[in-house]
Amino acid sequence: MLLSPEIIIGQTAGASLERGVTLRFEDLLLVVIGISWFAKNAIHKELGLLLKTPLNLAILFYVLVCLVSTGLGILGGRVSPKTGAFFVLKYIEYFVVFFMMVNHVKNTDQIKRFIFCLFLTCLITSIIGILQIPSGERVSAPFEGQTREPNTFGGYLLFIGAVAAGVLVKVDDKRTKQLLVLLLICIIPPFLFTQSRSSFLALIPACLVIGSMVRRRVVIIGLILMFFLISPLFLPTSVKNRILHTFTQPERPGQLKVGTLRLDTSTSARLASWNEVLKDWPRYPLFGYGITGYKFVDAQYPRVLVETGLIGFMTFIYLLYSILKLAIKNIRSVKSPYFRGLGIGFLAGYTGLLFHSLAANTFIIVRIMEPFWFFVGIIAVLPALEQQSLTQSQVNQSRPNPAAV
């Protein structure tokens, strides 16, 4: 997913999209997989079109609200039909990734192969990121063209890094531990040099979640907090300057003050956008302005509120809650250290993304959401597949040995 080139195939109207309509390789791949799934169901009707999961209802509600709010926005002249349709289809594509995952995976060996490929992709993109560091510019993901998005890359590295760390603290296999340590070592430099302050902020709760779910949690959490306190002593100068820039930028128009602190223009603009959303949202309180019907807002929660209204915001929160509930439930259900670590890492990464989205449109960003929903699919089917694997193993052990007979 992160190694997929983008092709700009057209331009769209509206402030929400400046890069035009982009087509990626996995978009085509998902179409092929989707068609194959419909064909398979046409032949084997007993399979069922979509596997029943605890997220189906929440996803359905959110998609319906997006369609209704955008349709109303088009009728009201607030949304360009082409732009609105493109964005809604992109949102639906993330859920297609989820359903393709839960409907195609058949055993735990497949899951381990998928996880290996996801980690390998992250390793490759991290190495590409490391090679960008000497340029002096902020590190971003490959194949992004002229519009670089370091904040996006930071969110992606945070999420995959958290999953890897979760597996690391639980898995027993020595070789697996060594490979995960290598991956995390490669993730850290490009993560720091994205200079993404929202990613740095999100790292704290992600680490605390992992610390709270291991043995001697009080000691581990204390060490994590101490690490963050002393981190300015060994962080690269450019990273420290980026963080301090929030409060030390020379005085400029548009800066906000919080007490005696003067915030930089970027942070001020985000906070101001929250205020503007709260002022403008009551004009269309229930279904909002429609997807892309409002000006660009670089924060997930106010954007959902203003674009889809109170109903859309409530369904979005319900979807986030459903994912959290599913993750916690399934972590308790799995027995394998590897899969338990995978669940803990996912929960940590998900918590980090919830904080990351305070200053970014995290839950609609392609390079974060495609891997995220792929992992959600894995977490959704993990307990059932693990139980299936254990049952099959017991059956095999109970069968008589032909050689002995």
pLDDT of the residue at 9: 57
Low-confidence ranges of the chain (pLDDT < 70): 7-23, 44-50, 145-147, 392-405
Q: Which two tokens stand for residue 118?
A: 């996801």
Closest CA to 289 of 298, 297, 280: 280
pLDDT of the residue at 19: 47
pLDDT of the residue at 15: 44
Closest CA to 16 of 290, 265, 288: 290
Query: What is the number of residues in the chain?
Result: 405
- Please give the span between the terminal C-alpha atoms of the chain, in angstroms, as a whole number: 51
Taking all residues of the chain, what is their mean pLDDT, rounded to a whole number? 85
Q: What ranges in 194-299 are assigned the alpha helix state H?
A: 197-212, 217-230, 237-248, 265-280
Residues 59 and 319: beta-carbon distance below 8 Å: yes
